[in-house]
Chains A and B, each alone.
Chain A
Amino acid sequence: MSFFSHYDYWVMLFLAMAGLFIVIARGNLIKKLVGLAILQTSVYLLYLAPGKLIGGTAPIVHTAFTLYSNPLPHVLILTAIVVGVATLALGLALAIRIREEYGTIEEDEILHSDTAPTKNESAT
């Protein structure tokens, strides 16, 4: 097993970990959603890479070609892309509503304004 036979997995893992880092470490809601989208996209590449055969072509059957790449990951990832954009749209709608209710989309400010009223109620 040499470096060149597996490095495609490692590149995609780097991209996935970068997306995960954005989700965990950044407080802005929209940036978190972008990080989630990056994580999803890198996982698509992780699924598509093993399906490719060197010397093969796209899986559209034609008499001029004999070797085709594997069509099964393509089917799964097509569904995953559309579901991903649906999730992104719902997440953005939630972020907009949070912005209207709390006035901010920074995570620590939202948590602060959520815990502050209970402290006032316990004081009275």
Chain B
Amino acid sequence: MMVAVVALTHVRNLFAVVVLFGLYSFLTATVMVALDAVDVAMTEAAVGAGVSTVLLLGALHLCRSEEEKPAHKPWLPLAVTIGTGLVLVYGTWDLPAFGDPEAPIHTHVAPRYLQDGPRETGVPNVVTAVLASYRGFDTLGETTVVFTAGIGVIALLRRRRHVREDKNT
């Protein structure tokens, strides 16, 4: 994945960039399965590697810009990025180790959801139970965000181009 991302930074042909992005999404979905997040992996594979790649290819076809121009040497952004990265690495010193069962994330609400969830909701998949029942408001907000994005894209792209040119003449 690191190789894919470094290649993506340097490649200038935009079609190759989109293909590398699809590859990166698939690798992310595989890593998520290794982290036991099966719902998230299915969503990431369907949405990231499927729909995102299709939308990027559609936009690329409309923008017709295949190559990116060479930039001036990016020393300042590289310095900013490396500086931010070092500060964040310093911030991860105190985080719990990988797979640590004593971490705070495992001791507050999660055991209650895992024990009482299937009994109270009758649904063995705890992720669906939490998403739809315990945290149903968040899912309502998310559906509204998707709806708003659809409305926004409709508002931006509704008129055809030749209709706009007729109005200008």
Consider the complex of A and B and state whether they touch directly, i.e. have CB atoms less than 8 Å apart: yes
Residues of A in contact with B (beta carbons under 8 Å apart): 1, 4-6, 8-11, 13-22, 24-28, 30-31, 33-34, 37-38, 41, 44-45, 48-54, 56-62, 68-75, 77-79, 81-90, 92-97, 99-100, 104-106
- Bound-state Cα–Cα, A62 to B21, Å: 36
Question: How far, in Å, is A113 (CB) from chain B's closest CB?
Answer: 15
Pair B92/A93 contact, Cβ less than 8 Å:
no
Closest 8 CB pairs of A and B: A86-B149, A5-B97, A54-B99, A25-B77, A25-B74, A69-B36, A92-B59, A24-B77
Report how far A11 CA is from B81 CA in the complex, Å. 15
**Distance (whole angstroms) from the CB of A60 to the closest CB of chain B:** 5
Q: Which label, helix, strand, loop or mixed, suits the secondary structure of the B interface?
A: helix
Closest beta carbon of chain A to B156's beta carbon, Å: 4
Cβ-defined contact, B146 with A82, below 8 A: yes
* Chain A positions within 8 Å of B1 at CB level: 11, 15
- Given known pairs A81-B43, A82-B43, the reply for A72 and B110 (CB within 8 Å) is yes
CB A7 to nearest CB in B, in angstroms, measures: 8
In the complex where A75-B135, A100-B161 touch, is A61 in contact with B149 (Cβ < 8 A)? no
